[in-house]
Structure 1
């Protein structure tokens, strides 16, 4: 009997070889392109978001669904000024903190007037629709990245040089602030929480800074996720070749890795510790031919699928103008 998509995922997450290679592309707002539902609606309307994501998954038949990746949701709920350009992802225009100490006044305990309920409800709708058959995942910002959003990344990095202990306390507070939202996503039915920590990329900070200012607080988040019965994925954009082992040390069940990472080396480091998810280049998805995409996806499978512990995906969120035939090419590679 053919396995359900979620069973294929569970098999590979047990480091056993499934009957086929599971695939979960990071679709996000690209679902707007697939379905014609306006992008802005996906960011403010939970039903529009879940409908677009479900229609996309059912059309292309992949193994799991993630809600929309929006890196501004939590900071906006805490007072950051966010801009919504037409047909583009929102960005933070002004950080809400002048001093780290002011974070004592911040809380997500009551976030009903923010967009956080949009993402909690979309998770609930996704879980209700396909939670028995597919992996349902929800994003949450990482603590070091939230710290940069609240204080400003440049100021945060400058302060790490001047007062390491205070920055660590600040990042720890950011981690604590996220707890209510994290709990809501799991209660809504997320099987898997994806921690987004792009500011901890080695494209931004050194491996030692990752170990000092990000990893300990991610580890605490993951302990909390596991205690609530969900799995945890750690997604860090860009270069992470030098910290794959440290990422495994956080206890993450899955590492979502970008195309800048050598997948063969990552597999050697992570196997039987953390599942790898990735890592077809999103620029190739946007600009390459379907043959090039298929070849890249097949190389990922060749490099990382032996012995289970691998989910084929994009290296990061799908660009909104990606040709749909390139998504098809990625999926066809997984079915060989």
Structure 2
């Protein structure tokens, strides 16, 4: 049984011979050919070259063709800030100062969509018989946030009808792009919506459930499987997400996957995840990654589960770490024996913390995976940066603590932070996996200035 057959069997709800393996390698694959992130996201030939090489080296059962949540936003008027080691970020929000509802639906000939479709067709011809191919669209809430900015969080309280209309529009865009990807031969359509973790279940039900059900019903009507990707601690929303009808929930390391599987099993859907991106895959070695993969496979079994990273693999993850996971999946008992005497080295890091008691300004620390690559992290940092605009940079200072740096992992332990993104104000953790609206945060900071 080849990898694609294994994935399809899992989506059909059947037990599999082993856990299927889907590395969410976005721009990381550029390393295989010496390119940077911007090159593979703008040059179809380079993207295809790297995809084919990653298919060979990482031995995936399924793989995404492109992992970039800004493709739709760019067509709809968002300027992008490009980087060499991450996907681009949205630099401006065309609806930030207006409550218009756009009518534009991206066509197959606009923006980078033609390049993506061309690469999808070529990947389908090259490996489509043996590898399940994922077409990933930007989820409606994240797309709406790209267009409206963090204002959308205040809109949920001030203008409910506008949010519903904007969500319906963003869903129409997602459905249109999903259709293009289905026509190009994608086996699974994923809606990637990091910001879903940043709202309450009531907000999700009120503003998103209907449109998400519409999206997944549409994908199913096309005879294609679907997956609902979320980043951050979306534990509180898993039940509501499952009720919208996806075939799979893809979760990250902030969520207890064993407990989450109880939700997916109750709804007869798959769960995918949730290897630690930074602590294990980026900062660990090959053996650390293999051990983490085996531990996860042992816990989850061979039914209703797909082994995957928690989200898009960072650019800097060593190639050998991903190769090692593929080896462990393909040869689990041999790898288990190989690792039987391995003990991970513990490194103590001395970290100098700010003198919170004697600061003459309000210090906002935004604790993130990386605001350049994690949409939820980016919007939480944007909320903090807004406070500088309100109070001035003499009274408020903002520091981002990315867990890409080992010393910041130690800081998280000292502050008692378990989930990302989070925000600490003067050393006190005040917002965990929930982006505060501007009025709420302004009131909080005003009491300290």
Q: Secondary structure of the equivalent of 1:312?
A: strand
1:156 CA displacement: 0.5
Contact 2:13 2:269 in 1 (8 A): no
Whether the aligned pair in 2 keeps the contact of 1:253 and 1:275 (CA below 8 Å) is yes
The equivalences for 1:1-336 within 5 A come to 3-98=1-96, 101-108=99-106, 110=107, 112-152=109-149, 154-201=150-197, 204-271=198-265, 273-283=268-278, 284-306=280-302, 308-335=303-330, 336=332
Conserved in 1, the CA contact under 8 Å of 2:22 and 2:306?
Answer: yes
By how many angstroms is 1:299 displaced?
A: 2.2
Contiguous gaps of at least 5 residues in structure 2:
333-449
Query: For residues 72-129 of structure 1, what are the alpha-carbon distances to aligned partners after superposition, in whole Å with 9 as ceiling and x for unaligned?
Result: 1101101111111233320111011245642234221x35241122222222121121
Superposed CA offset, 1:182-216 (max 9, x none): 21110010111110111111xx2122222222232
The answer as to whether partners of 2:275 and 2:292 remain within 8 angstroms in 1 is yes
Compare relative contact order (CA 8 Å, sep 6+) and give the higher one, 1 or 2: 1
SS of alignment partner, residue 139 of structure 1: strand
**Deviations 1:124-154, CA, capped at 9 Å, x for gaps:** 12112111221011110111111100111x2
Distance 1:186 1:12 in 2: 20
1:237-273 residue CA offsets vs partner (Å, 9 max, x unmatched): 0111122222221111111110111111111111262
Post-superposition CA distance 1:54-79 (Å, at most 9, x none)? 21111221211211211111011011
Q: So what's the TM-score if we normalise by structure 1?
A: 0.93
- RMSD of equivalent CA atoms: 1.7
Note the C-alpha offset of 1:5: 1.1
Distance in structure 2 (CA, Å) of the matches to 1:244 and 1:296: 24
User: How many pairs were matched up?
Assistant: 329
- After TM superposition, the score normalised by the length of structure 2 is 0.70
**Counterpart Cα distance in 2 of 1:228 and 1:124:** 18
Q: Name stretches of at least 5 consecutive residues in structure 1 with no aligned partner.
A: none
Q: Using the alignment, how far apart are the partners of 2:32 and 2:237 within structure 1?
A: 35
CA contact (8 A) 1:77 1:111 kept: no
CA contact (8 A) 1:225 1:231 kept: yes
Greater Cα radius of gyration, structure 1 or 2: 2
